[in-house]
A and B are shown apart, each in its own frame.
Chain A
Amino acid sequence: EVQLLESGGGLVQPGGSLRLSCAASGFTFSSYAMSWVRQAPGKGLEWVSGISESGDTTYYADSVKGRFTISRDNSRNTLYLQMSGLRAEDTAVYYCAKEEGDSSGVYYYNWFDPWGQGTLVSVSS
């Protein structure tokens, strides 16, 4: 069974740092791109960051660029999100998600499946 388990969330002061982890199991982790998605309390989903299978290509939403760093350790089957310069607006549940894809047709289609259960990050003084 494919499983993603996030950890590392908690309460942090504005300007502080936190590192989230996402432990993957049940699939060949190094063969899949991964992403982080967050959801502020009572709000919708926001894609935050993504990383290629090997980890050599990373992507960020404008809202976190320069403050967050995504990385992965394929030997440990673990995805990370290093967050610094945290702001109140970064308060959210953070989910990791496995990116699946289908290139059998003319076009390449991709989607997120599954998602982890999420870890809550609260930024407050």
Chain B
Amino acid sequence: IQLTQSPSSLSASVGDRVTFTCRASQGISSHLAWYQQKPGKAPKLLIYAASTLQSGVPSRFSGSGSGTDFTLTISSLQPEDFATYYCQHLNSYPPYTFGQGTKLEIK
């Protein structure tokens, strides 16, 4: 299964609403997680099971989708949200696939 994220990069301003897309090459139900990675840091879990917000993650982050098409939305961008975002397909056992990432930059 391959995951394709779009766009590869995105410029936005503080306060904007942004949406990232992750498309799977075949149906994966809701077996999808989203991570945020800042430069020089390890990835951080945001969303699992496509739409479940990880404890401690701000509510401005939300995930949706099932099957082949998934989205991650940030409702109102904050300065600390500028980072790269990855989707990941996980099933009961590996291999586990990552999308190529979407880099969110300040406009």
Task: Give the interface of A toward B (CB within 8 A).
Answer: 35, 37, 44-47, 49-50, 57, 59, 61, 95, 99-100, 102, 107-118
- Please name 7 further chain A to chain B contacts, defined as beta carbons within 8 Å, in addition to the given A44-B101, A117-B41, sorted by A numbering: A44-B98, A47-B95, A50-B96, A109-B31, A110-B48, A110-B91, A115-B43
Q: What are the nearest 10 A-B pairs in CB distance? A: A59-B94, A111-B48, A109-B49, A115-B42, A113-B45, A111-B33, A50-B94, A45-B98, A47-B96, A44-B101
Complex CA gap A115/B43 in Å reads 7
Let me know if B95 and A61 touch, CB within 8 A. Answer: yes
- Provide a sorted-by-A list of 7 A–B residue pairs whose CB atoms are within 8 angstroms: A44-B86, A45-B101, A109-B52, A111-B45, A111-B90, A113-B48, A117-B42
A102-B42 CB under 8 A given contacts A50-B94, A59-B95, A112-B33: no
Of B31, B33, B95, most A-chain CB atoms within 10 Å: B95
**Interface of B, helix, strand, loop or mixed by DSSP:** loop
Task: Give the interface of B toward A (CB within 8 A).
Answer: 29-31, 33, 35, 37, 41-45, 48-49, 52, 54, 86, 88, 90-101
Let me know if B88 and A112 touch, CB within 8 A. Answer: yes
A112-B45 CB under 8 A given contacts A107-B29, A107-B30: yes
